[in-house]
Amino acid sequence: AQKVTQAQTEISVVEKEDVTLDCVYETRDTTYYLFWYKQPPSGELVFLIRRNSFDEQNEISGRYSWNFQKSTSSFNFTITASQVVDSAVYFCALSGSYLNTGFQKLVFGSGTRLLVSP
Amino acid sequence: ETGVTQTPRHLVMGMTNKKSLKCEQHLGHNAMYWYKQSAKKPLELMFVYSLEERVENNSVPSRFSPECPNSSHLFLHLHTLQPEDSALYLCASSPKQGYEQYFGPGTRLTVT
């Protein structure tokens, strides 16, 4: 069965600090996808990135960057020069089979709450 | 226009009421999902529809009944709910299974 672990329950930083959110996953699939989502206080989950298991290149998008290391089953997310608007709960997710059917689903971690203070 | 919409945004219902949550996606996706998000609990997948075919999930109580009349609309019919069913109910869609899902804003449900 697939599993996603986000060991950091809550992180507090001061604006302009860099912060890394950890994500460790378990799967027996050889092909899978990894995702990060942001859930601001409004409640809607916002899709940030999808990464294919065959592509270990790091990705940067503005102040966001992602480090995928298959050897350690980790897919960490770094926010550079954090801002107050980055305050949210961040979820890491992994694609996986659903109820032993041919259907696929996303397995979510428990989330990391990021608090950025001015 | 928002890709995935949900109505109502907030709902308060008694334990004997019957209500329905509605979800609509404007993204041309083939798969739709209902999730339950309770305080301090992981996101809980309730139902999956793929090309309007439902994947059964026997762990969800029968007081929750989904309906997918077409690939753009998804309903969650509620009846005789319990207070522990109070939660944020999120709808999502994806272009295909296993790909990124796009979420609606959710319905905050309170059962009194």
Tens-digit pLDDT profile for residues B35-93 = 999 987 889 899 988 877 887 677 899 999 999 999 899 999 999 999 999 999 999 99
Whether A44 sits inside 8 A of B98 (CB atoms) is: no
Cα-atom radius of gyration of chain A, to the nearest Å?
A: 14
Which range scores top for mean pLDDT: A55-64, A71-80, B48-57, B94-103?
A71-80
What is the model's pLDDT at position B56? 67
Cβ-Cβ contacts under 8 Å, B98 against chain A? 33, 95, 104-106
Q: How far is residue B28 from each of residues B42, B48, B93, B101, measured CA to CA in Å? A: 28, 16, 9, 12
Q: How far is residue B46 from each of residues A56, B23, B90, measured CA to CA in Å? A: 32, 14, 10
The model's confidence at residue A101, banded by pLDDT at 50, 70 and 90, is low
What is the model's pLDDT at position A100? 67
Residues 36-95 (A) with a CB less than 8 A from some CB of B: 37, 42-47, 50, 91, 95
What is the model's pLDDT at position A65? 95
Tell me if B23 sits within 8 A of B6, measured CB to CB. Answer: yes
Alpha carbon distance A78, B69 (integer Å)? 41
- The stretch A64-91 carries a mean pLDDT of 96
Region of B80 on the Ramachandran plot (φ > 0 left; ψ -120 to 50 alpha; else beta): left
Whether A98 sits inside 8 A of B55 (CB atoms) is: yes
Tell me if A48 sits within 8 A of A40, measured CB to CB. Answer: no
What is the model's pLDDT at position B59? 86
Alpha carbon distance B6, A93 (integer Å)? 23
Which range scores top for mean pLDDT: A8-22, A47-61, A88-102, B47-61?
A8-22
Smallest CA–CA distance from A41 into chain B, residue: B105
